[in-house]
Structure 1
Amino acid sequence: MKKLLFLLISGFALAQNTDQNFVKTTTYRDQGATKPLHQVTYFDGLGRPIQKVTNAQSNTGKDIVTHIEYDAFGRQVKDYLPYPSSQNNMQFIDPVTASTGTSSYYQGLYGDANPYSEKLLEASPLDKVLKQAAPGNAWAMNSGHEIKSDYQTNTASEIKLFQVTTTWNTSNLLYDIAISNSGNYQANQLYKTVTKDENWISGNNYTTQEFKDKEGRVVLKRTFSNIIEGGTIVESEAKHDTYYIYDQYGNLTYVIPPLADGDISENSLNGLCYQYKYDYRNRLVAKKLPGKQWEFIVYDKLDRPVATGPAFSPSGDATSGVLITEYDVFGRVTQTGWKAMSIDETSRGSWQNNINSGTNPFVLGTTDILTKNFYDNYSFNPNLSVGTPYATNVKGLQTGSWVKVLDPNNPNASELSYTLYDYKYRPIVTHTNNYLGGYTHTINTLDWAGKTLQTQTTHKRVNSDTEIKVTDTFEYTPEDRLSLHKQQINNLPEQLIAKNTYDELGQLTSKNVGGNDVTGTLGLQKVDYNYNIRGWLTAINDVANLSKGTNLELNDLFAFKIGYNTHNTIGTNDIEPWLLYNGNIAETYWRTNSDNVIRKYNYKYDALNRLLDAQYIKPEVSSAYNSYRELLSYDKNGNINYLSRNGDQDSDGSLPENTIDELNYTYDPIKKNQLIKVIDYSFNPQGFRDDSDGVNDPDDDYEYDANGNLTKDDNKGITKIFYNHLNLPTKIDFTSVSNQKIEYIYNALGQKVQKKVYDLIYNGTTFVPGSNVTQYLNGGFQYRDNVLQFFPHAEGYVNNTVVNGANNYNYVFNYTDHLGNIRVSYGIDPDTQVLKIIEENHYYPFGLKHTNYNNTKLIFKEEEERSGVVALKGGGGTPQAPKPTYNYKYNGKELQDELGLNMYDYGARNYDPAIGRWMNIDPLAETSRRWNPYTYCYDNPMRFVDPDGMQADDWRINYVDKNGKQQEFIFNGGQTALPDNQFVRDFVDAYRYNVGNGGGDGLRSVAENPNLMVDVQQTDGVSFTDQPSLAPNSGDYNVVNWNPNMGLETTSGNILSPATVLDHEGDHAGKYAAEGKVKMNLRLEKEDAKYDNKEEKRVVTGSEQRTARANGEIAGPEVTRNNHQGLPVITSSPTSTKVNASKTVQFNQKMADQGIFYNPSFEKYKKR
């Protein structure tokens, strides 16, 4: 997609005003330049932006206009939401007209005439934000629901002073560390920022106090909340302190979480705290997470990690070893592997010394290799002939990969993939040979601008199978929004997947889902969406009325409503919740076509946003309360101490609540995050199943290995769980005389490819020992005992049943709520051609399923009939009903209910909804050190979703996959299983490099704040932070555009790696996301003689210095630069400072040729 920039040129082609200064950007979207996208920014005489116009981008082809205004001091204190104007000619609109037009639009849409965020600034040249008000009358300035900030210094008795002593260990090549408490910080030694959230009324609850030292490092984060035991407040406004302690070189060495309460005894440090050790180059070489053994890192001479461990064997036999990474000369990962080597602090030092001396102790043998990456050509696959229309000169691109499949019965099992590119180097073909001998082959048809028009996927489980071909076709609106998605299987008739409708600003307002009308005029269901002025989802269909007409397809099968700061009174017996203004959900309603009964939850939280109470109500039924209530309390680390749960009867008020769980949690006395026992005083077999008598439970229920993985669960009858190198379970043994167990096979990246369940199987006469196998193949094709069960589509799944030996496909569609929970699955009964609900599920907040209402299931059942018709058969809730093959429910994850396991598989971890905890330590625990590493979604499961078992959303990496599809990957600091994409890996490598070295403040500022979301995407130009998209909620996040090959040579002569540049931009983005549109405005209105503006000065003198110092790019007291200038340079890898002279010249020449910038300093590299 080509983009041109026209600077301050009056009277250009389209009709922007000739009497205004402007910058016009044109993006061409087709080869004939018939569909250009024009954007114009108008400026006043001082060079400040005063209006932004995006041409013809509303849903009806009108201009989208963003009004910008300044106060009497030239400060932008109001940030207006965009609105669709009545014109489409890019003409400048009078400021008064633009302001009133914005207000009128949002008044008509939401009944809200406050369409801007607003800042109250301190009356000083620093312009510190005292209040931040969001759009909407409820959050308007002086409403009482702003985010408030206060700036102070510490008092003499306020904060403990911890100091670190480091001692160089010559033999181990690292600094040993020791911590001591030296009393308290003296008064006025730390900067103190007090932030009060939108729910704050008075006191310390709902406030965060952050203390920073004079180098800008966070020393303490203090929050407050009441401590509750047995429903009684035992301590009001209790401090929850997280201390960050640094060594004399500025390296983060200890983190003391709230539950430690400042205790630095050996037991506290080893059981609760984070500890880090560094070498003489300030590289992180050893770390200990709470409840986990020490981990060690060995580096090569270019500071790239080459070995980490200890790590379990990939085979899951509990052998200890090290994970090894190899690179090519350009810093790209070429292969990874595992070797059985015992690693500790001494051996790590010895190996590091070997590498420093030029000897590699980590040579991988053939059987040690786990993955290989191929670049630049296709020589790895001699059977592949690449020619027109595919690119043959693919230097610099990843062309393929090899991944070992960890099948203990087949040591040669693997998956080989390749990617083909078009002449624009866009991936358009991907092919993967699976470990069974079959394949998945995908061809993408792209338009000139890169949008996917069609995807054709062909698949075989084994090579002898009949090929399945799935063709997805996509159509778009003139504004490039996805309009229509339809799908065809083989030569069968096409099916509608979804027809989307948008409002004027591009927000999805409805979609027609499913059916044979591939124009999308009529679907099986019309799903409507509503939002508030903040862009928060408020409704899916209308809970008050499911009926839309006489045809069943016109009636809604499901409706859902969300309340935040407003109460939606529905029914005479509804109860108003405690209204919330910070994004927490106060109430939800739901209703289905099954019984047409409205149900709801009211939610109550503590001051740390942790869910305390979910009150169940049937608002149209008198006295029908709390049949499915959940009530909780926590310790200071977020560990659940108590959980009460009602259920198993949906009372109409005539029956009392039925308590099914009254759980008391007991934790290890040293490793205080590790649950060792749960006793259920209700002694009810529903919900959580306890192995005790409900009174006494003398034995511990749970045990863990050295990595903090759960290895025993007496309550489920689990005697032993084995794990692989990624801490994923490979085998679960159960207490049984019939050898009951579950075995898993993964590929080396952690993707599950097979599950085998050993159980008693009914043979028609009796139960005999047997097994069944589920296979998970590329593209989502899922098999049971070698028979295809289903594969997913964008709105549900395609179910397969075998009729007279032939596959027969039936489309099933899912209603999901705001969390992705599958609530209702529906489809056409092929026997009666009637739309039916196939399955219905509703959940407690922490994910356990409600029982005993609307739980009748319909299943697709094999019928050996002449007609070949596959009918929907009613299960009726009877035990004899065949089990549905599609078992994805809460958060859209697979429920593993075999042998009573009852855990959800999230990919990186497994989650137990009965107790609200993970069975493993969070791989991203270091990004949320204030929380225990087993906590689910910050104890706020109504607001947050954990996409893969690693952390709730924060960093969203946008990339194009091998199929040419735009994808998102949520990253928070430490994933081991990553998408097969070079940009994702580059970002992750840079993040780990920065944070691992003790820097990365800019990136961590986002990762450690669950309320922030920042997008990152690749650019081949200069790295920069972009403004948010034009949408009502556009102020919630912004975009970092990062070039993983571009470092910076400063005017001081220092070379900053691309990783340091990324952290620089990440700091801007975090500030932008936290405080609104500050950075872009400060760039223009708060000039600085050296740094251009105060925002750049803040970052350059702050996080940039700290990260560069941590990465060894500057020494001790040295600074990166005393200005905001520098020369972009191309380095050998994202973490390298080694400059590639020729590529640096090419890059800077290209920037000069395109008129973006010209820095003559690059000429010196022509001589190298």
Structure 2
Amino acid sequence: MQMEISLLKMNIITDSITNIQYLKMKKLIAFALLLFPVFSIGQTTTENYVKTTAYQIATQTGTVTDDQKIETISYYDGLGRAKQTVSAKAGGDKQNIVQLITYDSLGRTNKQYLPYATGAEIPNSLDFTNQGILKSSIETFYNTTKYENTLNPYSETLFENSPLNRPVRQGAPGNSWKIQKDSIYDHTVHYIYTTNTVSDANDQGDDVLDFEVIFNGNDITQPSLQLVGIHPENNLSRTIIQDENFEQVLAPTGPSGPFDPPLQEHQIVESGNHASEEFTNKKGQVILKRTYNNDIAHDTYYIYDDFGNLTYVLSPEASNQIVSGNNLVSNHQEVLDKLGYQYKYDYRNRLIKKKIPAKGWESIVYNRLDKPILTQDANQYTKTPKREWLFTKYDAFGRVVYTGIKRANISRTTFQIIANDPANLEQYEQVSPTLNVDTGIYYSSDAIPAAFDPALDEILTVNYYDTYKDLGGYTLPTSVYGQAVTTNTKGLPTVSKVRVLGTDHWITTLTLYDEKARPIFARSENTYLGTIDTSESLLDFTGKVLESRTSHQKSGHQEVITKDFFSYDHQNRLITHMQQIDNEPVQLIASNT
């Protein structure tokens, strides 16, 4: 760690093998540390900047070639806003890639320029380039036949004249997508902000239906849907989004001269094809999304309970069928079950039941840590002679350690009461030094559901962490491609087991890591198919795969070995991918230029 301090600034320079960050500010008085000198090479010291260097090889001195490091530098203005970013030699021909950032008079990012590869007009260095010169260079760079003579190499946003700073138009790079400030007939995205309306004898309004959720018997786990009527005029915020192909229409009384944004007052505020609408209530909740096809509106309603929980979602077809006049249809629950989304919550706002269109109810039970421990779908509910529940067990760190099937004719409510009982102290499982006779795995079975009946219940998946368990006699290798296999696996997943359904066979997968906790070896054994698959990887300093070897073995068949070779450029981008199967010739799989 090196630090340089002056009266009006503090420079903090962090050195590590993987990256160096320099934070420099303009200074009035220089103060040099003689024992730890700081060098500033290749950047403009009269500008505020942050420089980052990511080394691609291990080094103790920091002296490396340009191809052995990736450097970027960001320049900031006096308000701390980024105004220019330079990526050293990031181009295909090792040009610097420069990103220009501009702001309007109110400090909003109104234009986002395309990246630019420096040419002869701008030196290929990390120095700051005058914003005006850089802007001119970017415009010249893209105004060529290669880039279809693009006159606007940037995306642009026009904002409304209000403190809300909401966008009213959004343009994109390319002449066809440029904002035409003197016309609304352009291929840009338009945003129109207004409020909801109600139909009358002379005008067709938005007529947004007003639904509410009530609780039967004041039981918050038993919601029901009610229709209140239509939202009063100006009760909701309405946002219209017209895409690039929306056909704009001027109001008959609109001015004939140039327009100044915002343009809403010059347009007929309406929707149709290539447009969508969102209606938001005073709580900020989106209650209606309206889209159009063949100029026909399709409404999706979002209905919340008093606690802000999304309780119902009405699909467009459900919205059409569930209302007749000013009332819900008599069979509205059938419509909900067939076409709607329904959600139920408990007193802790946890989702306990849900139903999606044309599917039965799903139930969820939680432990006192709010983790789902039991789930049941409609098919499991109808199982005989006992219903099925899918259970999930966790360790002390909240990691899933094993899952399985619990067979019991116990309701969701009863299971939840058991889980809430303070007498049931155990909320997680612990690794067992010996095999659990009931479950057949190296974990306890203390948390809800605690009782495990081998005759009825079964384990489906098992995950081990930190140490290697249940290897079936397999001896772990100590190195892979000459890379030492670490024994410090705290916090890492090590072994996973997945049951082949309907059998006592398992697919066991183990993962080995290098000293940096990067996976370099995996082995998967499928006792049902009698196969063993292994994968080995050679990684470089930054973690890129340079070479990999995979093998597939099946009882009674010859082993198949596949080798893959990868090469990268100076910016860690993939250049070539070569592959060899057994002793066949090496083949080119992919090549990037």
TM-score (norm 2): 0.77
Structure 2 residue corresponding to 1:302, chosen from 369, 375, 397: 369
Secondary structure of 1:412's aligned partner:
coil
Which of 297, 318, 321 is the matching residue for 1:260? 318
Seen in structure 2, the aligned counterparts of structure 1 residues 102 and 362 have a Cα distance that, compared at 3 Å, is: farther
The structure 2 residue matched to 1:102, chosen from 116, 121, 138, is 138
Whether 2:281 is the aligned partner of 1:213: answer yes
Q: What's the offset of the Cα at 1:319?
A: 8.6
**Partner secondary structure for residue 46 of structure 2:** coil
Cα deviations across residues 132-162 of structure 1 (Å, max 9, x unaligned)? 1011111100261111101112224521111
Q: Counterpart in 2 of 1:1014?
A: none
Q: 2:386, 2:408 within 8 Å by CA — same for their partners in 1?
A: no
State the one-letter code of the partner of 1:308.
Answer: T
Q: Distance between the aligned counterparts of 2:372 and 2:218, measured in 1? A: 20
In the alignment, residue 115 of structure 1 is paired with which amino acid?
P
Q: Does 1:400 align with 2:433?
A: no
Distance 1:9 1:71 in 2: 24
Q: Secondary structure at the match of 1:175?
A: coil
Matched, 1:348 2:412: yes
Contact 2:366/2:372 (<8 A) preserved: yes
Structure 1: distance between partners of 2:69 and 2:564: 26
- Distance in 1, matches of 2:486 and 2:590, equals 34
The answer to whether the 8 A contact 2:391-2:449 is kept is no
* Of 19, 27, 30, the match for 1:3: 19
Residues 191, 212 of structure 1: 8 Å contact kept? yes
Does the Cα contact within 8 Å between 1:483 and 1:499 map onto a contact in 2? Answer: yes
Q: Cα–Cα, structure 1 residues 317 and 95, in superposed 2: closer, same or farther, change >3 Å?
A: farther
Separation in 2, partners of 1:342, 1:386: 47
Displacement of 1:167 in angstroms is 3.6
Cα 1:461–1:365 change in 2 (3 A) is farther
Equivalent runs, 1:932-1011 vs 2, <5 Å? none
Give the aligned partner of residue 391 of structure 1: 486
2:522 pairs with 1:430? yes
Residue 383 of structure 1: how far off its partner (Å): 3.0
Deviations 1:503-532 (A, max 9, x none): xxxxxxxxxxxxxxxxxxxxxxxxxxxxxx
The 1:445/1:311 distance shift into structure 2, 3 A limit, reads farther
Q: 2:510 matched to 1:418?
A: yes
Counterpart for residue 337 of structure 2: 270
- Matches of 2:56 and 2:573, distance apart in 1: 13
Equivalent of residue 271 in structure 2, options 183, 187, 204: 204
Point out 4+ residue stretches in structure 1 off by more than 4 angstroms: 9-12, 316-320, 362-367
Question: In structure 1, how many angstroms separate the alpha carbons of the residues matched to 2:279 and 2:39?
Answer: 52
2:461 matches 1:371: yes
Aligned partner of 1:116 among 154, 164, 167:
154
Q: Give distance in 2, aligned partners of 1:139 and 1:416.
A: 54
Q: Give the 3-state SS of the residue equivalent to 1:96 in structure 2.
A: helix
Q: Which of 188, 198, 202 is the equivalent residue of 2:234?
A: 188
Matches of residues 303-342 of structure 1 in structure 2 within 5 Å?
303-310=370-377, 312=379, 321-342=388-409
1:75 Cα offset (Å): 2.6
Query: How far apart are residue 386 of structure 1 and its match?
Result: 5.6
- 1:622-644 CA-to-partner distances (Å, cap 9, x unmatched) read xxxxxxxxxxxxxxxxxxxxxxx
- Summarize the Cα distance change of 1:319–1:91 in structure 2 as closer, same or farther, 3 Å threshold: farther
Q: Which residue of 1 aligns with 2:174?
A: 136
Q: 1:402 to 1:318 in 2, by over 3 A?
A: farther
Map 1:498-509 to 2 at 5 A.
Answer: 498-501=590-593
Equivalent position amino acid for 1:476 in 2 = Y
> Which has the larger Rg?
2
Paired amino acid for 2:545: T
Preserved CA contact (<8 Å) 1:168 1:175: no
Aligned to 2:583: 491
CA pair 221-337 structure 1, distance change in 2 beyond 3 A? same
> Residues of 1 paired with 2:218 and 2:498: CA distance?
39
Residue identity in the other structure for 2:20: L
Superposed displacement of residue 317, structure 1: 11
Shift of 1:116: 0.4
* In 1: Cα distance, 2:409 partner to 2:152 partner: 63
Matched to 1:163, the amino acid is E
Corresponding residue of 2:55 = 28
* Residues 86 and 126 in structure 2, CA contact (< 8 A), matched pair in contact too: yes
Distance 1:365 1:380 in 2: 21
Q: Which runs of 5+ in 1 are unaligned?
A: 227-236, 502-1168
1:469 correspondence with 2:511? no
Cα 1:331–1:380 change in 2 (3 A) is same
Q: Distance in 2 between matches of 1:120 and 1:385?
A: 61
Q: Which of residues 243, 247, 265 is equivalent to 2:301?
A: 243
Letter in 2 for 1:66: Q
AA aligned opposite 1:42? Y
**Counterpart of 1:119 in 2: which secondary structure?**
strand
Do the aligned residues in 2 keep the contact of 1:311 with 1:323 (CA within 8 Å)? no
User: CA 1:427/1:194 → structure 2, altered by over 3 Å: closer, same or farther?
Assistant: same
Aligned twin of 1:443:
536
Residues in 2 aligned to 1:390 and 1:246: alpha-carbon distance in whole angstroms: 53
Task: State the alpha-carbon separation in 2 of the partners of residues 21 and 36 from structure 1.
Answer: 22
- Cα distance between partner residues in 2 of 1:285 and 1:308: 9
> SS of the counterpart of 2:169?
strand
Secondary structure of residue in 2 paired with 1:104: helix
Letter in 2 for 1:110: Y
Q: What SS does the aligned partner of 2:133 have?
A: helix
Shift of 1:489: 1.7
Alignment partner, residue 82 of structure 1: 115
In the alignment, residue 417 of structure 2 is paired with which amino acid? N
Q: C-alpha displacement at 1:244, in angstroms? A: 0.6
Amino acid at match of 1:189: N
Question: How many angstroms apart in 2 are the aligned matches of 1:498 and 1:295?
Answer: 45
Stretch moving more, 6-15 or 473-482: 6-15
Whole-Å Cα distance in 2 between the matches of residues 241 and 166 of structure 1? 25
Aligned pairs (5 A) from 1:1102-1113: none
Q: Secondary structure at 1:68's aligned position in 2?
A: strand
User: What is the DSSP-based 3-state SS (H/G/I as helix, E as strand, rest coil) of the residue aligned with 1:131?
Assistant: strand
Specify whether residues 301 and 169 from structure 1 end up closer, same or farther in structure 2 by C-alpha distance, changes over 3 A only.
farther
8 Å CA contact 1:106, 1:115 repeated in 2: yes
The answer on whether the counterparts of 1:484 and 1:499 sit within 8 Å (CA) in structure 2 is yes
AA paired with 1:151? Y
Which shifted more, 293-302 or 86-95? 86-95
* 1:653-690: CA deviation from partner (whole Å, max 9, x where unpaired): xxxxxxxxxxxxxxxxxxxxxxxxxxxxxxxxxxxxxx
Letter in 1 for 2:208: I
- The root-mean-square deviation of aligned C-alpha atoms, in Å, is 2.3
Cα shift at 1:169: 7.5
The letter of the residue matching 2:106 is F
Amino acid in structure 2 at the alignment position of 1:161: D
Q: Which residue of 1 aligns with 2:192?
A: 150
Specify the SS of the correspondent of 1:351: helix
CA contact (8 A) 1:311 1:322 kept: no
The 8 Å contact of residues 337 and 364 in structure 1, kept in 2 or not, is answered as: no
Work out the CA distance in 1 between the residues paired with 2:162 and 2:561.
Answer: 66
Q: Which of 96, 101, 105 lines up with 1:72 in the alignment? A: 105
Which structure exhibits the higher relative contact order, with contacts defined as CA atoms closer than 8 Å and separated by 6 or more residues? 1
Q: Is the alpha carbon distance of 1:318 and 1:266 closer, same or farther for their aligned partners in structure 2, counting shifts above 3 Å?
A: same
Deviation at 1:380, TM superposition (A): 2.6
Q: Cα distance, 1:339 vs. partner?
A: 3.0
Which amino acid letter does the alignment assign opposite residue 375 of structure 1? Y
In structure 1, give the amino acid aligned to 2:21.
Answer: L
Unaligned runs of at least 5 residues, structure 2: 1-16, 27-37, 200-206, 249-269, 323-327, 425-447
- Equivalent residue, structure 2, for 1:91: 127
